[in-house]
A and B are shown apart, each in its own frame.
Chain A
């Protein structure tokens, strides 16, 4: 294997792998979160530190926090003590207790020995910062089809807009009203600030949109006395509003549909304004004989989710005020205030930014994927072009040889020397054509192996025999290239369970690379050794060459797709394919190289069965001599 690096195309695994971004870890972790129906559990979410993005669910009576494995909340942080702190459940909350840790425990920046935690608390253990979220009582569902948008004509048209507020006005709740700077206002402002802060936090830590919207809905319910709520997002293609999250306050029938007036929705989206509605009719309805006292009043807030560029959806909440509650409130029906409306607009804006972010992220992934496809095609056409060049060369030699041969005959008698020369040329040309035809066939096979998710089909096979076959196959080529090929079979290898065809390909790629690597080396030598380590129950194939070796910086890249240093010959698929096959067998391939001295590749197959193929092992009607695994029996007892 000549190991110059064309370019690292790390992310492209022949069109099928998603490019890896630094955020992938968080992405996959968040998908594990359960979008709960019913009561959600308390959790710790790591905001900063090596475990960033990890969420620990708190379900036990006692959780221990520390850096060793025996802790249920284990932090990979050297500043965290082995047994740092514990969380003890007390009813519906957790109490945090520092266990005399070396570096202490801090809650919201304050050193803490013991303290009851509330949702939103930030706890510092060593260098790790975690966010505590408590139990959530109310049920929320992600069932979207229980929300109806009713047309203009309908009973809900009784709803009317009582106040409206533009998006820009929505953020004014943060401006202090100088005259009113008394404590109630400050208290309200603080609680408002807190909800905004928590919204921002949720937005920045949640990649999964459904999860995020559910969380936002949950926070809205913690903060305002709403009975029902839902978040609808605009469908990218149809532009229609599709319900995403729906939630009820506890005690409200959950199978009841939420009806939202289309008039209101249209108004909100078109005018990009939040609205507050009330279905209380004009003054005559306040007549005690009127329906209002019997039916109560229902109020709603509906706000646009205005992102950077567009309205991406709406958030809707409503509440019904029963006559009893109205009596208690001195007949006042104002459940929602303008302040609620302002804050809802601000929350919706945050949520919209997150929704936009996610859709742009998705678009970016798609773009990256297309770029990878482009690069794949470019790389493939380069290899095919090189093969074509070889075919052209070979066939041109044949063509000239045929012409020369004819000429040698035409002059009455055969010119022996000329005839022989022309036949030599034809033979040479034919060999080149043949070699390139093999090249294109192996390229096609490698592409196939790489592109499909094929599981190995293991059967009892002989590691030595497969390797010997590979060596035999390569013997001709290495002789042609003046490379000595040495084969050393292993002793007493038991019959193993693996897919002989695939392992054959994996070995062939590595051995043929080794021979290629020796091309320009005087006295090139490739040693192929099979080994069996009984104690570890594994077999190896060691392939050593005395070629130019691989620079340390390039070692990582050689297993990347389409990285080839073999110029015209390499497809850049050989080693990635070998690695894929070995990994599918639960094995691996390692390399160790010294520039100027040569490289050593080791293909390892463990005695244990390949993953997800245990079933196949039991299909074999042979006694498995040891506990389980690829090892069927000792070679002495078989064949």
Chain B
């Protein structure tokens, strides 16, 4: 990992964002945070992060529509996205995101994020 990467964290729980933020910053990354999906879309548009991590349990839209929308947006802009949590079975087929189901361990999650960031550009 040569350059500093910017990661957008989408989660409505401050605690979860804090944990991820601390871990990513420890690796030398910059972080952006959004508590709501709508906000995340706007931030992604303006800030063009290198990666998005989103917690789909924070998405209360019917059928995880907001998560889906965000993953489409990410794939259009060529931003890798990691989706955390439980999503409907057909989600993986439809989305470009990587899915990590809960409860997950943080070490593999960070490795996954590092891997995606390492292969960028």
- Contacts from A to B (Cβ < 8 Å): 2, 4, 6, 385-386, 388-390, 392-394, 396-397, 400, 404, 425, 428, 432, 435, 481, 519-520, 565, 567-569
| 23 interchain pairs, CB-CB under 8 A | A2-B12, A4-B60, A386-B57, A388-B103, A389-B16, A389-B102, A389-B104, A390-B15, A392-B105, A393-B19, A394-B19, A397-B23, A400-B23, A400-B26, A404-B26, A428-B22, A481-B14, A519-B35, A565-B60, A567-B57, A568-B13, A568-B15, A569-B15
- Contacts from B to A (Cβ < 8 Å): 12-16, 18-20, 22-23, 26, 35-36, 55, 57-58, 60, 102-107
Kindly list 15 other residue pairs between chains A and B, CB separation below 8 angstroms, not including A520-B36, A568-B15: A385-B102, A389-B16, A390-B16, A390-B19, A392-B103, A392-B104, A393-B20, A393-B106, A400-B23, A428-B18, A432-B15, A435-B15, A481-B14, A519-B35, A520-B35
Cα of A432 to Cα of B18 in the assembled complex, Å: 9
Residues of B within 8 A of A519 (CB): 14, 35
- With contacts A392-B103, A392-B105, A425-B22 taken as known, whether A568 is within 8 angstroms of B14 at the C-beta atoms is no
Measured CB to CB, the closest approach of chain A to B23, in angstroms, equals 7
Residues of A within 8 A of B18 (CB): 428, 432
Residues of A within 8 A of B57 (CB): 386, 567-568
Q: Which 9 A-B pairs have the closest CB atoms?
A: A393-B19, A396-B106, A4-B60, A568-B13, A388-B103, A389-B103, A567-B12, A520-B35, A385-B103
Measured CB to CB, the closest approach of chain B to A41, in angstroms, equals 55
Residues of B within 8 A of A425 (CB): 22, 26
Cα of A145 to Cα of B15 in the assembled complex, Å: 67
* A390 to chain B: closest residue by CB: B15
Chain A binding site: helix, strand, loop or mixed by DSSP? helix
Measured CB to CB, the closest approach of chain B to A387, in angstroms, equals 9
* A421 to chain B: closest residue by CB: B26
Please determine whether B13 and A567 come into contact, CB atoms closer than 8 angstroms.
yes
From B16, B58, B107, give the contact of A396 (CB < 8 A): B107
Measured CB to CB, the closest approach of chain A to B15, in angstroms, equals 6
Please determine whether A432 and B19 come into contact, CB atoms closer than 8 angstroms.
yes
Measured CB to CB, the closest approach of chain A to B55, in angstroms, equals 8
Residues of B within 8 A of A390 (CB): 15-16, 19
Measured CB to CB, the closest approach of chain A to B49, in angstroms, equals 20
Cα of A432 to Cα of B107 in the assembled complex, Å: 17
* B60 to chain A: closest residue by CB: A4
Residues of B within 8 A of A481 (CB): 14
* B36 to chain A: closest residue by CB: A520
Cα of A393 to Cα of B106 in the assembled complex, Å: 7
Residues of A within 8 A of B26 (CB): 400, 404, 425
Residues of A within 8 A of B107 (CB): 396
Residues of A within 8 A of B15 (CB): 390, 393, 432, 435, 568-569
Residues of A within 8 A of B12 (CB): 2, 520, 567
* B110 to chain A: closest residue by CB: A396
* B13 to chain A: closest residue by CB: A568
Residues of B within 8 A of A385 (CB): 102-103
Measured CB to CB, the closest approach of chain B to A490, in angstroms, equals 33
Cα of A425 to Cα of B25 in the assembled complex, Å: 11
Cα of A392 to Cα of B103 in the assembled complex, Å: 9
Residues of B within 8 A of A404 (CB): 26
* B105 to chain A: closest residue by CB: A392
* A425 to chain B: closest residue by CB: B22
Scoring A6, A392, A393 by chain B CB atoms within 10 A of each residue's CB, the highest score goes to A393
Cα of A164 to Cα of B102 in the assembled complex, Å: 68
Residues of B within 8 A of A432 (CB): 15, 18-19
Please determine whether B13 and A397 come into contact, CB atoms closer than 8 angstroms.
no
* A435 to chain B: closest residue by CB: B15
Please determine whether B22 and A397 come into contact, CB atoms closer than 8 angstroms.
yes
Residues of A within 8 A of B13 (CB): 567-569
Cα of A487 to Cα of B116 in the assembled complex, Å: 49
Residues of B within 8 A of A568 (CB): 13, 15-16, 57
